[in-house]
């Protein structure tokens, strides 16, 4: 284990190099870190090491465990390392001031600054994210993104026990998305946020904030959240805020999870959106056909060739798009078509909602309205328009905003399981999990020759086909003739008086 003085010197050098601090801040920063480590000895000429910031922090956490400053639980280690990085960060007001100074140059200059800061401060977990398996694979709908998420470390049993004990002890911050997380030291069961900073981004005369996801799934994966802790809701105001955001940041897309269980992603308790500087397969998908909106004849309206049911609207005036989107939402909320398994309500329980995505493209505002329905049946207890049981061996979790756009976030277990499947396909004596058996047999039947040269691509492409199936299950209108006829019935309903 490296000497503490060398680690601290390395960390300070890196902070200067990445412009987190100025050279004249070295002594102050060094002393703050030494204080957090309760270290009274220091060797000023200790050589710096060839380590990056995440590696230095891991070594310092190991030293803290050795010195019995912390017990070594994941949350304790992260609390310490976040406090250490907070030493090198400016106050939120100063970061906001720099952000908006750079915004005067361009919105992209401002977000580049904040994204780099979030990575350099180790708030974005770049080292852990590097462990994720990521690739693109072709489909009938364009190139899909596949991610096997390996970035979040597993909790040990002692931490899980402590979390259960402390669960009711505190309700501050109220959730992981609240503004009160900025600078929060953390506790067992609630992540450390000492090195967390957010940018104030007012939307439609309301207080909203921009941050980046600690575990980014795509370039500049951002979270835009309301100051007020309130449940997710898709309505006129949602469309207004989404278009207001891309007006401020035209190089970003922004979207919202739907506001109902099953189809609504993971956190419905706090109103928030996700955005970023990335082009998903859905964004570039072909446009299948155009249709008329009588009430909004100036708004361009098309159906996108995509496994989920997507209406795309375009106009140079964002206010016209907001009105048209809200009109379609209200029509969809109350729409039923039993022949297509679509019922708007069960008694008074609503089932229809929308996953909206906004962007600017070619000088126009663009909104994608993805029609969702969360109804369940005895045959499909997890949802009629949810991944069906035959694809659960790949994905059975909710299909939220990121998956809707064509990026699969798949469970860590698949890393080892896919390797075993590859070995099995190469005729090695490897037994694969029972729930993969039918899939593996279908792969064998589909290829005349599977070799070490092509097995990786074969498995990746077949995984992509499975994910496309997952998305097809989530589509309220299927892409076959009957499904398109049902979709057109709804589009005709939009023009009913």
pLDDT confidence tier of residue 188, bands split at 50, 70 and 90: confident
**pTM of the full predicted structure?**
0.94
Q: Indicate if the pLDDT at residue 239 is higher than 70.
A: yes
Q: What is the mean pLDDT of residues 482-492?
A: 98
Peptide bond preceding 24 in cis form (omega within 30 of 0): no
pLDDT of res. 151: 86
Does residue 305 share a domain with residue 249? yes
Does residue 287 share a domain with residue 328? yes
Does residue 482 share a domain with residue 468? no
Q: Indicate if the pLDDT at residue 165 is higher than 90.
A: no
Does residue 240 share a domain with residue 332? yes
CA nearest neighbour of 487 among 281, 328, 284, 280 = 328
Mean pLDDT, the chain, integer: 94
Does residue 289 share a domain with residue 332? yes
Which of 36, 69, 102 is at the close of a domain? 69
Does residue 326 share a domain with residue 243? yes
Residue 279 lies in a domain: yes
Does residue 414 share a domain with residue 365? no
Residue 162 lies in a domain: no
Residue 421 lies in a domain: yes
Q: Indicate if the pLDDT at residue 264 is higher than 90.
A: no
Q: Indicate if the pLDDT at residue 123 is higher than 60.
A: yes
pLDDT, tens digit (0-9, with 9 covering 90-100), for 174-184: 999 999 999 99
Residue 76 lies in a domain: no
pLDDT of res. 443: 95
Which of 28, 47, 69 is at the close of a domain? 69
Q: Indicate if the pLDDT at residue 365 is higher than 90.
A: yes
Long-range (24+ apart) CB contacts under 8 A made by 105-114 are 107/248, 107/249, 107/250, 107/251, 107/252, 108/251, 108/277, 111/220, 111/249, 111/251, 111/252, 111/277, 114/197, 114/199, 114/210, 114/212
DSSP per residue over 25-42, as a string?
A: GHHHHHHHHHHHTT----
pLDDT of res. 41: 87
DSSP per residue over 320-340, as a string?
A: HHHHHHHHHHHHHHT--BGGG
Q: Indicate if the pLDDT at residue 351 is higher than 60.
A: yes
Which of 9, 35, 69 is at the close of a domain? 69
Does residue 319 share a domain with residue 274? yes
Does residue 305 share a domain with residue 243? yes
State the residue range of the domain holding 461. 409-474
Does residue 484 share a domain with residue 429? no
pLDDT of res. 16: 98
Residue 35 lies in a domain: yes
Residue 77 phi/psi, 5-degree rounding, is -60, -45
pLDDT of res. 164: 62
Does residue 319 share a domain with residue 237? yes
**Choice among 43-52, 77-86, 348-357, 473-482 with the minimum mean pLDDT:** 43-52
Does residue 235 share a domain with residue 339? yes
Q: What is the mean pLDDT of residues 400-417?
A: 95
Contacts of 367 (CB under 8 A, 6+ apart): 239, 242, 243, 312, 313, 321, 325, 356, 357, 358
Helical spans, DSSP H, in 19-91: 26-36, 53-66, 74-86
Distance between CA atoms of residues 57 and 423, nearest Å: 37
pLDDT, tens digit (0-9, with 9 covering 90-100), for 190-211: 999 999 999 999 999 999 999 9
Contacts of 114 (CB under 8 A, 6+ apart): 95, 99, 197, 199, 210, 212
Look at the chain and report how many structural domains it folds into: 3
């Amino acid at each position: 284990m490296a000497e503490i003085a060398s680690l601290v010197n390395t960390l300070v050098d890196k902070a200067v190099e990445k412009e987190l601090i100025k050279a004249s801040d070295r002594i102050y920063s060094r002393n703050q870190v030494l204080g957090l480590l309760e270290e009274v000895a220091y060797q000023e000429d200790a050589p710096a090491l060839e380590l990056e910031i995440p590696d230095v922090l891991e070594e310092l956490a190991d030293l803290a465990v050795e010195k019995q400053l912390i017990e070594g639980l994941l949350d304790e280690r992260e609390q310490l390392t976040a406090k250490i990085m907070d030493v090198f960060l400016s106050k939120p007001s100063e970061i906001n001031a720099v952000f908006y100074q750079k915004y005067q140059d361009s919105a992209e200059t401002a977000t580049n600054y904040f994204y780099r800061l979030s990575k350099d401060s180790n708030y974005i977990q770049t080292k852990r994210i590097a462990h994720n398996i990521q690739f693109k694979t072709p489909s009938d709908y364009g190139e899909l993104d596949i991610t096997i998420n390996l970035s979040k470390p597993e909790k040990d049993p002692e931490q899980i026990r402590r979390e259960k004990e402390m669960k009711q002890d505190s309700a501050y911050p109220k959730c992981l998305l609240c503004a009160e997380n900025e600078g929060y030291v953390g506790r067992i069961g609630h992540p450390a946020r000492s090195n967390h900073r957010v940018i104030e981004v007012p939307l439609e005369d309301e207080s909203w904030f921009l941050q980046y996801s600690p575990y980014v799934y795509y370039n500049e994966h951002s979270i835009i959240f309301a100051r007020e802790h309130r449940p997710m809701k898709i309505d006129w105001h949602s469309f207004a805020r989404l278009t207001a955001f891309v007006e401020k940041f035209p190089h970003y897309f922004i979207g919202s999870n739907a506001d109902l269980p099953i189809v609504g992603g993971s956190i419905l308790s706090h109103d928030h959106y996700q955005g970023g500087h990335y082009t998903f397969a859905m964004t570039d998908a072909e446009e299948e056909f155009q249709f008329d909106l009588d009430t909004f004849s100036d708004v361009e309206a098309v159906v996108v060739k995509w496994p989920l049911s997507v209406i795309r609207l375009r106009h140079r005036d964002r206010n016209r798009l907001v009105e048209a989107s809200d009109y379609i939402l209200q029509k969809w909320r109350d729409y039923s078509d039993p022949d297509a398994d679509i019922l708007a309500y069960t008694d008074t329980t609503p089932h229809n909602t929308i996953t909206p995505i906004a962007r600017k493209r070619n000088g126009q505002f663009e909104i994608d309205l993805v029609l969702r329905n969360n109804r369940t049946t005895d045959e499909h207890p997890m949802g009629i328009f949810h991944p069906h049981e035959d694809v659960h061996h790949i994905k059975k979790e909710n299909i939220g905003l990121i998956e809707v756009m064509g990026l699969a976030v798949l469970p860590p277990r698949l890393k080892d399981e896919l390797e075993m499947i590859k070995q099995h396909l190469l005729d090695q004596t490897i037994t694969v999990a029972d729930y993969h058996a039918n899939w593996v047999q279908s792969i064998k039947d589909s290829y005349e020759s599977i070799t070490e040269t092509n097995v990786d691509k074969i498995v990746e492409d077949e995984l992509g086909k499975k994910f496309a199936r997952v998305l097809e299950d989530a589509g309220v209108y299927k892409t076959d003739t009957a499904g398109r006829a049902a979709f057109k019935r709804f589009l005709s309903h939009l023009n009913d008086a």
